[in-house]
Amino acid sequence: MAAVRISSRSGLPSLLVYLGIGVLMGQDGIGDIKFDNAELTQVIGYAALVVILAEGGLGTKRKEIKPALPAASTLALFGVAVSVGVTAAGAHYLTGLGWRQALIIGAVVSSTDAAAVFSVLRRIPLPARVTGTLEAESGFNDAPVVILVVAFSTAGPIEHWYVLLGEIVLELAIGAAVGLAVGWLGAWGLRHVALPASGLYPIAVVAIAVTAYAAGALAHGSGFLAVYLASMVLGNARLPHWPATRGFAEGLGWIAQIGMFVLLGLLVTPHDLGDDIWPGLVIGLVLTMVARPLSVVLSLLPFRVPWPEKTLMSWAGLRGAVPIILATIPMVNGVDGSRRIFNIVFVLVVVYTLVQGPTLPWVARKLHLGDQPEAADLGIESAPLERLRGHLLSVAIPKGSRMHGVEVGELRLPAGAAVTLVVRDGKSFVPMPATVLRRGDELLVVTTDPVRDAAERRLRAVAHGGKLAGWLGTDGAGG
């Protein structure tokens, strides 16, 4: 919790704080924990990334992302290809790495990190088009990058570019179809199937998101794209108990980030980084100052994006835990020089996150973006009665109840209580004072905190004694 507070106040992505904790716990730190299981790190990292993408998708607003989809999709596909090629060329010619190692590094660091982008951008009042494009890009580009890293890390010759491109397109198409289908079915089910406890809705939403990842992967598609799209559909579906669901997902996202980053900090061995610091700085400079800006400019040519926005998007290509997780793939596959690849990626991510994260608000101000923040969306929650010091009573009128035939106005509820909704024969309506109640009706009664008990007693009295209750000595205290 202290690390969360430090990262939020400093403007740094939480990545750095948790990586530092992991390094301190490791064999070169005060914890002296020896950990070198790259395969376990990769598995846990994938699981954490699924949760982070789910949380990001649930918080993505359709109205912001819809106009940005073409530009974001182009950045996530064509932009990644440009970035991989330029970064790999720089790594090969400037640091002497072999082409396979250079291509792996280029692919690993070309993906913007969803956790870093979501955590930093949502604190900066940027134009909706910029925020939507960057968030959608970070949610989309993990999928093609994972495919590229796996292909480059596989033993044997690298496939022809057109075969690789075909595989990427096919996996993305399958993942998108599965994600949208699972998201739509899950939203439909949650709206039509009443769960017995409100606390089950957040668990159900996260379970549906994870199911989308599993279904996408089993269908030989991109599970990461599936979970992001399914979560985005769920997040815009006006589900019951949404504020609780959103808070639950945010908590899980924090837990996933903390566990993943600490584990990555444990995996790195600081005293082995010495020879890889310079290559990491050089490759990071090529990525930040050449590859990313070139990919943004070329990708956004058809979309008439102003130069200030292009400049900001170029600088906002934040890296985080995802590149470090992807760097474990060549380690698990036994690629020559894989430990050096991991060290170079680690140095690059830490150094350039320190540079880009804190300076992003300053760059936005210098470009005059976010000076006039757009009107904030109205925060509407479903019955936030605890915060408003109120209560929502659900009252069913059973067979034999003397409330049958009583008008709403004749209930004579205490001041501060009112019947706000009547559900009758599966349809709901707002009642008038002259509305006559019937058997089988369900009433929603809103009361302020001081009169909650008095309102319940009055409703019970009318149910037992009819509209003359009170005058005839029936006060409802008998339950």
* pLDDT for residue 39: 87
**Together in a domain, 144 and 26:** yes
* pLDDT for residue 370: 62
- Establish if 384 belongs to a structural domain: no
Residue 38 has pLDDT above 90, yes or no: no
| Domain-terminating residue out of 312, 332, 366 | 366
Residue 182 has pLDDT above 60, yes or no: yes
**Together in a domain, 395 and 358:** no
**Together in a domain, 137 and 188:** yes
Q: What is the span of the domain harbouring residue 107?
A: 2-366
Beta bridge partners of 429: 422
**Together in a domain, 340 and 453:** no
- Establish if 201 belongs to a structural domain: yes
443: nearest Cα among 230, 169, 162, 458? 458
For residue 239, the SS3 value is: coil
**Together in a domain, 362 and 405:** no
Angle among Cα 478, 449, 248 to the nearest 5 degrees reads: 110
Determine the Cα–Cα distance for residues 413 and 394; give it in Å rounded to an integer: 15
| Domain-terminating residue out of 300, 331, 366 | 366
- Establish if 282 belongs to a structural domain: yes
**Together in a domain, 285 and 419:** no
Residue 389 has pLDDT above 80, yes or no: no
pTM: 0.72
Of 154-168, 258-272, 451-465, the poorest mean pLDDT is in 154-168
Q: What percent of the chain has pLDDT over 90?
A: 31
The CATH number of the domain holding residue 462 is 3.30.70.1450
Report CA torsion sign: 52, 124, 107, 262: negative
* pLDDT for residue 377: 47
* pLDDT for residue 42: 87
The better pLDDT of the pair 140, 437 is held by 437
Average pLDDT of span 17-42: 82
Determine the Cα–Cα distance for residues 283 and 102; give it in Å rounded to an integer: 10
* pLDDT for residue 378: 39
Most confident of 111-125, 254-268, 288-302, 442-456: 288-302
**Together in a domain, 196 and 249:** yes
- Establish if 261 belongs to a structural domain: yes
- Establish if 477 belongs to a structural domain: no
**Together in a domain, 319 and 449:** no
Number of domains in the chain: 2
Q: Which residue has the tokens 């350039």?
A: 352
Task: List C-alpha distances in Å: 366 to 269, 292, 309, 310, 372.
Answer: 38, 20, 12, 14, 13
User: pLDDT grade, residue 381 (50/70/90)?
Assistant: very low
Residue 1 has pLDDT above 80, yes or no: no
* pLDDT for residue 423: 92
Residue 104 has pLDDT above 80, yes or no: yes
* pLDDT for residue 371: 58
* pLDDT for residue 435: 93
Residue 373 has pLDDT above 80, yes or no: no
**Together in a domain, 413 and 327:** no
Average pLDDT of span 354-366: 84
The CATH number of the domain holding residue 201 is 1.20.1530.20
Residues 6 or more apart whose Cβ sits within 8 Å of residue 83? 106, 110, 287, 291, 292, 294, 295
Average pLDDT of span 5-10: 66
Residue 173 has pLDDT above 80, yes or no: yes
How do residues 226-280 score in pLDDT, each as one tens digit? 999 999 999 988 888 887 888 899 889 888 888 888 888 888 888 888 888 999 9
- Establish if 479 belongs to a structural domain: no
**Together in a domain, 300 and 401:** no
**Together in a domain, 317 and 405:** no
**Together in a domain, 130 and 232:** yes
Cβ neighbour number for residue 99 with a 10 Å cutoff: 13
- Establish if 277 belongs to a structural domain: yes
* pLDDT for residue 393: 84
- Establish if 383 belongs to a structural domain: no
* pLDDT for residue 137: 87
